[in-house]
Amino acid sequence: MSQREWIEKDFYKELGVSSDASTEEIKKAYRKLARDLHPDANPGDAKAEERFKAVSEAHTVLSDPAKRAEYDETRRLFAGGGYGRGGGFTPGGGGGFTQGFDLGDIFGQQAGGADGGLGDLFGGLFNRSGTRTSRPRRGADVEAETTLGFREAARGVTVPLHLTSPSPCTTCHGSGAKPGTSPRVCPICNGSGVVSRNQGAFGFSEPCDECRGTGSIIDDPCVDCHGNGIQNRTRTINVRIPPGIADGQRIRLAGQGEAGLRGAPSGDLYVTVRVSQDKVFGRTGDDLTLALPVSYSELVLGTTVSVPTLEGRVGVKVPPGTADGRTLRVRGRGVPKRGGGAGDLLVTVKVAVPPKLDDDAVAAMRALQEAEKASGFDPRAGWAGA
Ligand SMILES: [Zn+2]
Ligand SMILES: [Zn+2]
């Protein structure tokens, strides 16, 4: 039975129950009406027979909780959603659906393979009615992952990605028909992929058997894909990773996912990027971090140290009297930013203590210690009173 029928028919009214009637009340109302209207009890009464069919149909839908919920939902959408009473589509106002408004137009779009909209809204009604339909459908999105070295992630890199996924058949370009031929519109369903069937009192909408719901017939199937228009292929895609990508970020490549069914658009490819650690560099956002080992005397006297950067090296000036743990900033030598420019290189100095000194060095250290005391240096001066 079509949505249109569902929308136009008031099954509750047929059974003479309220829309919030319990299953028990519905059953009771149906039994009574069925007994009264049964063709055996009303031989030759066409009106009674008509009513009997209508009542049976109403009962079939309302006695099944799942069907009833679907029916209620469908009617609610149309009654309240601007398609029905009071909506913009009802120029004449008044009750029910206006004559001039053809619901078939809406459902026609769905049959044509449009994604989203009403097609999705009512997709469930079709899928539940039997074989899955294979009308044109957008390809699925594909997830992939790649691991980059720290420096290549920071600089940006192009990596080859090998993907095995269904793709449009190269022989028939996804049509499923042998090259030189093309699919024709199914004469049974006129391309909609759906047929109405009457079985006893009930009408059903179901996928067309002739074309298996696709709406088209392929007389001469493509030999390489057996007519479904899709081949499993291993593809290599060169993915350009922009500079500065961070661990865990995802890149979307539009149209590089699975092929759509029967010429529908492909899905997207999402690549999650993993970034491995580096021996020297760390990262905070766009800033590159680096721990710089220095000697005590370098901190005290000051020096210039050559440190590695992503691009080469840079001289970092450690001013005289620099405290251990201080971070020196080198502007613009960090991770490239998306919009241009780059973060900073943050160099944190860290004293390296010599594990062993020769006699001369030890003697010099002793002399330094005495000299520091004499000049009044007390490393724990701040602790006075603690
Ligand atoms: Zn093919
Ligand atoms: Zn058909």
Judged by average pLDDT, the poorest of 72-76, 129-133, 135-139, 270-274 is: 129-133
Higher pLDDT, 89 or 215: 215
The whole-number average pLDDT for the span 172-197 is: 87
Q: Is residue 109 within 8 Å of residue 118, measured between CB atoms?
A: yes
pLDDT at 3 over 90: no
386 Cα to the center of ligand 2, angstroms: 91
116 Cα to the center of ligand 1, angstroms: 27
194 Cα to the center of ligand 2, angstroms: 7
92 Cα to the center of ligand 2, angstroms: 36
pLDDT digits (tens, 9 = 90+) for 275-323: 999 999 999 989 999 999 999 999 999 999 999 998 899 999 999 999 9
pLDDT at 77: 67
179 Cα to the center of ligand 2, angstroms: 22
230 Cα to the center of ligand 2, angstroms: 21
Ligand nearest the Cα of residue 134 is 2
Pairing verdict, β 250-253 and 269-275: antiparallel
Q: Is 189 annotated as a binding residue?
A: yes
Query: Residue 194: is it exposed, middle or buried by C-beta count within 10 angstroms (0-12/13-18/19+)?
Result: buried
Ligand nearest the Cα of residue 133 is 2
Region of residue 338 (phi > 0: left; psi between -120 and 50: alpha; otherwise: beta)? alpha
pLDDT at 55 over 90: no
Residues 119, 194: Cα–Cα separation, whole Å: 13
pLDDT at 307: 96
Q: Is residue 126 within 8 Å of residue 135, measured between CB atoms?
A: no
10-24, 114-128, 309-323: range with highest mean pLDDT = 309-323
pLDDT digits (tens, 9 = 90+) for 324-381: 999 999 999 999 887 888 999 999 999 999 999 999 999 999 999 999 999 998 889 8
Q: Is 172 annotated as a binding residue?
A: yes
pLDDT at 96: 36
CA distances from 314 to 20, 255, 283, 332 (A): 78, 42, 18, 11
Element (H, E) at 294: strand 287-294
179 Cα to the center of ligand 1, angstroms: 8
Q: Is residue 266 within 8 Å of residue 253, measured between CB atoms?
A: no
pLDDT at 117 over 60: no
Higher pLDDT, 5 or 357: 357
pLDDT at 149: 93
Ligand nearest the Cα of residue 168 is 1
Q: Is 210 annotated as a binding residue?
A: no
230 Cα to the center of ligand 1, angstroms: 6
The whole-number average pLDDT for the span 251-262 is: 82
17-31, 37-51, 336-350: range with highest mean pLDDT = 336-350
Ligand nearest the Cα of residue 181 is 1
Q: Is 40 annotated as a binding residue?
A: no
Judged by average pLDDT, the poorest of 43-47, 159-163, 182-186, 187-191 is: 43-47
Tokens of 51: 């009513």
Ligand nearest the Cα of residue 187 is 2
pLDDT digits (tens, 9 = 90+) for 218-241: 999 999 888 888 888 787 889 899
217 Cα to the center of ligand 2, angstroms: 8
Judged by average pLDDT, the poorest of 40-54, 56-70, 98-112 is: 98-112
Judged by average pLDDT, the poorest of 12-21, 87-96, 318-327, 339-348 is: 87-96
98 Cα to the center of ligand 2, angstroms: 30
Q: Is 112 annotated as a binding residue?
A: no
Ligand nearest the Cα of residue 175 is 1
Tokens 């055996």 belong to which residue? 40
Element (H, E) at 186: none
Higher pLDDT, 110 or 252: 252
pLDDT at 228: 82
pLDDT at 72 over 90: no
Ligand nearest the Cα of residue 263 is 1
191 Cα to the center of ligand 2, angstroms: 6
225 Cα to the center of ligand 1, angstroms: 4
What's 89's DSSP letter? T
Provide the 3-class DSSP secondary structure of residue 144.
strand
Q: Is 169 annotated as a binding residue?
A: yes
pLDDT digits (tens, 9 = 90+) for 165-177: 667 788 888 888 9
193 Cα to the center of ligand 2, angstroms: 5
Q: Is 253 annotated as a binding residue?
A: no
Q: Is 222 annotated as a binding residue?
A: yes
262 Cα to the center of ligand 2, angstroms: 15
pLDDT at 201: 67
pLDDT at 28 over 50: yes
